[in-house]
Structure 1
Amino acid sequence: MLSLTSRSIRAGLVVLGVIACIALSSPSANATEAADAESRNKRIVTEAFERWAAGGTRFFDELLATDVVWTIEGSSPSAGTFEGRDLFIDRAVRPFASRLSSPVRPVTTQVWADGEHVIVNWDGEGMARDDVPYRNSYAWILRMRDGQAVEVTAFLDLAPYDSVLERIPAPRAGGQDQ
């Protein structure tokens, strides 16, 4: 006759617990979870670029975490690290955008994802207020968390970017040129 003792029940529960832990931490479960996060991150970034290219104006507000750390690589005065979305927008985005008559828009993009990282290689075009076209190529590496970029490393040709900042005076507070 089969008799279950509390000892054999406990042993059976331990075995079931070990099997459950192995199943939950199996490479296939982790690989599926990582692939899902990777796919989600790529989709979030791709869709944000599509909205921007179509005329959207909230790209940075939508995609960047408030505590993002944005680094512009290079050796010009425009290079540097900006801690926080508001600081980045105030010190890098607005001074540049205020010198344009039409904003920079992505015209081509390629997006790759690897886990929490999304890499975007894109070409942008806009028009400076002096009617000189602005064109540049960018490579951004974004580290994503909860659907937003928490860290960005940006590579671009800083010569055309700096040229716009140097050639065109910043508008005065009342909208008048200096």
Structure 2
Amino acid sequence: MEAGTKTLIPPESTNRRTVAEIYSALATGNMETVLERLAPDIKWTVVPGDQTAGTYYGPELVLREALAPLAAVWADFEMTPFEFTAVGDKVFVVGESRGVHRASGKVGTARFVHVWHLRDGIAYRFESVSDTHAMRRATQ
């Protein structure tokens, strides 16, 4: 490599790393790191049928309306990503959610696909698609 030549990191690598950092931060309860990786105007959509279904705008609303209720209803709630596929400004994540429903004591497990849209390593759009029926069964 010539002196003064920069090695460019492909945007897919940066985006994949950002999304992996978000899951890692969620797993450890590090909400500060999660919020740092979300754009101020993020659009966060959760599939109908999910307990936090809806579209939320901004990191604080995402935390309050989409993430915090999960901890209130589920003990030991985890989102485990199995596969990350980065394509352009998107990262597709296949994984599994798991938790113990606090009221019923039953374990709920559901597969998910998350679609992240990133710009300059920051998430500006998120969509969750999951097996809501599997989780709902654990609530009964």
Change (3 A) 1:78 1:132: same
Question: Which ranges in structure 1 are unaligned for 5 or more consecutive residues?
Answer: 1-31, 168-178
Q: Which residue of 2 aligns with 1:122?
A: 95
42, 51, 69: which one pairs with 1:68? 42
State which structure, 1 or 2, has the greater radius of gyration over its C-alpha atoms. 1
Q: Give TM-score, length-normalised by structure 2.
A: 0.76
**Alignment deviations for residues 134-168 of structure 1 (CA, whole Å, 9 cap, x no partner):** 2121111111012221001110122345567x76x
**How many percent identity over aligned positions?**
26
Q: Distance in 1 between matches of 2:12 and 2:66?
A: 28
1:37-116 to structure 2, matched below 5 A, reads 37-53=11-27, 55-58=28-31, 60-74=34-48, 78-102=52-76, 104-116=77-89
Q: Distance in 1 between matches of 2:130 and 2:94?
A: 10
Q: Give TM-score, length-normalised by structure 1.
A: 0.61
Question: Which ranges in structure 2 are unaligned for 5 or more consecutive residues?
Answer: 1-6
Which is strand-richer, 1 or 2?
2
Task: Give RMSD over aligned pairs.
Answer: 2.7
Which is helix-richer, 1 or 2?
1
Greater relative CO, 1 or 2 (CA 8 Å, sep 6+): 2
State how many pairs are aligned. 132
